[in-house]
Amino acid sequence: MRILYGIVGEGMGRATRSKVTLEILLKEQHHVKVVVSNRAYKFLHDNFSKRFPSCDEASEGEAAIDIIKIEGLTMQYVNNVFDEKASVLHTMQRMPDMLNKNLDAYYKNLVSWMPQAVISDFDSFAYIFAKIHGLPILSIDNQHIVQRYVIPEEARESNPIAFYTYKCFVKAKLPRCNTIAVPPILRQSILDAKPLPVEHCEYFLVYQSSKSDTSLISVLQAFGEKCIIYELGREEKVDNLKFKGFSEHGFVDDLACAKDVFDNGGLSLMNEEVSLQRPFLSVPVENQYEQVLNAW
């Protein structure tokens, strides 16, 4: 089957989750074209492009995949606060270039190939393509829980305006679809990891979705404990802090040996923390309601 797979490129959680699904699709010999933006593009390109032929080169009964880079929305942060106005302005400034590049990807890679079905991890590009062409859509995401299940009152009432705005946005995509709840989708490296007992661990693991928290470093230095910090764009050691760049296997190893984790409330990471029985503290980025909901 020819499948278009759309993945949100902001953050890495959806990319690592989608990698698991893509492996299954390729094992079943499907032809898959993935549209993805930002850092998630490089992650998936590095994982798949050298292992499988492209969809145009492969025969009918052979697994094939293309990782297609598109332009996606990005979130703007100031002092660890999601800045809605700055995000909208940044998107408007990029809109002509985004439309040009995404239309190019649309016509060059997809129209003549024409997928038979669409899978979306809550992205917009693949979703809109499916709607335009009347294709079936399978959405693999965590966002629809806000519409399909009962949300604790504390989570709803912590910020009612944000909750109902978020719920309306989610509901607009697939308002009356069939829903199946499944356990967390975990990558194989997490399933294979051998976590060290917490009492034998020596450091805290810190994972940030935003590089804008200017107070974080001084707080962790004053904390005094050894910390390994990911996603701040630095690779160095300062006092009790060790900064690391993104590495899938390195991160899994560090997670399995951490005595506690400080995160922002990304669902994929929290699922992995639970799977490896790591204690964790989630401090969502301010105004990022999805992270608030996950942390509840």
- Over residues 148-204, the pLDDT tens digits come to 788 888 888 888 888 888 888 777 777 677 888 889 999 999 999 999 999 999 999
Topology annotation, domain 189-295: Rossmann fold (3.40.50)
pLDDT, tens digit, 9 for 90 and up, residues 44-101? 999 999 999 999 898 888 999 999 999 988 887 887 788 888 888 888 898 898 899 9
Inform me whether the pLDDT recorded for 214 exceeds 80.
no
Quick check: pTM over 0.85? yes
Query: How is residue 206 written in tokens?
Result: 């810190």
Tell me the domain boundaries of the chain: 2-144, 189-295
Q: Does domain 2-144 have CATH number 3.40.50?
A: yes
pLDDT in tens, 164-178: 888 887 777 776 778
Question: What residues does 68 pair with on adjacent strands?
Answer: 35
- CA quadruple 34, 39, 44, 49: dihedral positive or negative? positive
